[in-house]
Structure 1
Amino acid sequence: MKIYKTSEIAKIVGIHPNTVRLYEEIGFIPKVNRLENGYRVFTDLHIRQFKIARRALNIEVLQNGLRKKAIEIIKTSAKMNYDKSLILVKEYLNQIDMEIKNAEEAIGITNKLLKEGYEEGGKVLKRKEVSALLDISIDTLRNWEMNGLIKVKRKENGYRIYNDEDIKRLKIIRTLRCANYSLSSILRMLNELSADPDIDIKEVIGMRENDEDIITACDKLLKSLSESKKNALIIKKEIIKLKTEYKKPSTLTP
């Protein structure tokens, strides 16, 4: 079995030696044995796990717990619990697919609003119903309202009600938050969207990078999600190979 020093691992993986030690400390790689002189001894298994970790963390703008899930995959794989790792990868891919769907829907809503504007009417929902429909916590809805992202109407009994216009706005906000935009940036983009419903879409898309609009923000998110999905599929294949080569008993089924 070939072994490697810290400096050799750093060169192979393309990271600083201090990062090699950090990955060991936070549990991103399997336990590292040491020689009598205290030097760390790495193997090909460590190299492969380093590459899994690097690929999993190669994401730019994702929020909504996706980075947390990626870290969980890394740590579980590092423990050589490959069955559970595959389950986590599957959950991660499912969430990415959902975020892609949400982003595409947000682009469609924005395009329609730019052409037609908001329309009053439609079904009215309570806060609890909106929370379930959009998979957003009630605390998050309350936070967005407190920060001025949405103004919610109330019935005579004081209950908040959300119409179709509110739901569309919330779907856009949800996607922009996944793209890691601040609440103030989202508010600015929504205000720009509402200010001129007749604005030329091409003009909106062509705005300066530091003055992004909703469509370009969603496009950036879609690109990042697609890249993350591609990386996750590669990680899945690698974990399947590791599972075959480094068998470890497990009661879980992928």
Structure 2
Amino acid sequence: MNTYKTAEIAHRIGIHPNTVRLYEELGLIPRAKRASNGYRVFTDFHLEQIKFARTAMEVEIIQSGLRRKAIEIIKSSTAGDFDRALALTNDYLLQIEKEITSAEEAISIVERLLSGRELELQPKAKADQLCLTRQETADRLQITMDALRNWEMNGLLTVKRKQNGYRVYTAEDLQRLIVIRSLRSANYSLAAILRMLRALYSDPEANLREVIDTPGEDDDIVSVCDKLLTSLQAAETNALQMLVQLGQMKKRFGSNPTL
């Protein structure tokens, strides 16, 4: 098996030597043996393991514990337990596929709501007169009061007030809240939902999938980083590549990759 110094392995992969050391400290690659002069000695397995870790961590997906699962996969491979790493990766891929389905379904629900194809909350005559308190609204939608407050504080909903200062929620507010709830349940961020709502206000015929997944040039960094569907699809592609890499490492390095 070939051996490499820290700078050599970093050069082959195209990263800084400090990144190699960081991967070692985090347990994403095995501890390197030391030469008589104290220098670290890396092997072909270290080289392939770094490539694998970079594939697994390329897409920043933190929801539903996906990031944690990716790290668990990397560490299983680091330990040479390729069978466990493969099993975990298959589970990881399955969860990503479920997240994609959930995100797509949420968009479909919103499209039906906004096109009027969903059932009305109330008969028309009563809907115009609907006036609920915050607690009644939360109970009606089966969400928490804190969620309502959070959505309002982040600009997703502006609620009218009575003369006594109490908030009142109308049928139109409830319809908007159902949209927000549907998207939040699929892990769309508040920034992405706000972007979609603003776009629909300007253009009711806007393409929801494009709007919610495409931050504007003036959006802040949190919003720019939020491209849920794009990120999930990229993570799915990477998970498939991880299966290929793990299969190759298992075949090449067997049960004692660091020897």
Same fold (TM over 0.5): yes
Please list, as runs of the form range in 1=range in 2, the aligned pairs for 1:196-235 lying within 5 A after superposition. 196=201, 199-202=204-207, 205=210, 209-210=216-217, 220-235=227-242
1:65 deviation in Å? 1.6
SS at match of 2:4: coil
Partner in structure 2 of residue 120 of structure 1: 121
Do 1:111 and 1:201's aligned partners in 2 also have CA atoms closer than 8 Å? Answer: no
Partner in structure 2 of residue 20 of structure 1: 20
SS at match of 1:201: coil
Q: Which has the higher contact order (CA 8 A, sep 6+)?
A: 1
Aligned length, in residue pairs: 215
Do 1:10 and 1:20's aligned partners in 2 also have CA atoms closer than 8 Å? Answer: yes
Whole-angstrom CA distance in 2 between matches of 1:208 and 1:56: 24
Change (3 A) 1:46 1:204: closer
Change (3 A) 1:244 1:198: closer
Tell me the amino acid that sits aligned with residue 184 of structure 2: I
Please list, as runs of the form range in 1=range in 2, the aligned pairs for 1:117-156 lying within 5 A after superposition. 119-120=120-121, 143-148=146-151
SS at match of 2:47: helix
Do 2:183 and 2:193's aligned partners in 1 also have CA atoms closer than 8 Å? Answer: no
Stretches of structure 1 lacking an aligned partner (at least 5 in a row): 131-137, 152-162, 250-254
1:63 deviation in Å? 2.4
1:107 deviation in Å? 1.7
1:116 deviation in Å? 1.9
1:54 deviation in Å? 0.5
Partner in structure 1 of residue 31 of structure 2: 31
SS at match of 2:63: coil
Does 2:239 match 1:236?
Answer: no
Partner in structure 1 of residue 82 of structure 2: 82
Tell me the amino acid that sits aligned with residue 235 of structure 1: M
**What do you get for the CA RMSD once the two structures are aligned?**
3.8
For each residue in 1:69-97, what CA deviation from the matched residue of structure 2 results, as whole angstroms up to 9, or x when unmatched?
11111111111111111111011101100
Q: Which of residues 155, 163, 186 in structure 2 aligns to 1:175?
A: 186
Stretches of structure 2 lacking an aligned partner (at least 5 in a row): 123-137, 158-173
Do 1:115 and 1:198's aligned partners in 2 also have CA atoms closer than 8 Å? Answer: no
Do 2:61 and 2:67's aligned partners in 1 also have CA atoms closer than 8 Å? Answer: no
For each residue in 1:169-212, what CA deviation from the matched residue of structure 2 results, as whole angstroms up to 9, or x when unmatched?
423113344xxx3x4x256347648x859822259956971577
Give 1 or 2 for the bigger CA radius of gyration.
Answer: 2
Do 2:56 and 2:74's aligned partners in 1 also have CA atoms closer than 8 Å? Answer: yes
Please list, as runs of the form range in 1=range in 2, the aligned pairs for 1:149-168 lying within 5 A after superposition. none
SS at match of 2:227: helix
Runs of 4 or more consecutive aligned structure 1 residues displaced over 3 Å after TM superposition: 148-151, 163-169, 186-193, 195-198, 202-208
Partner in structure 1 of residue 161 of structure 2: none
Do 1:117 and 1:197's aligned partners in 2 also have CA atoms closer than 8 Å? Answer: no
Identity of aligned pairs, percent?
39
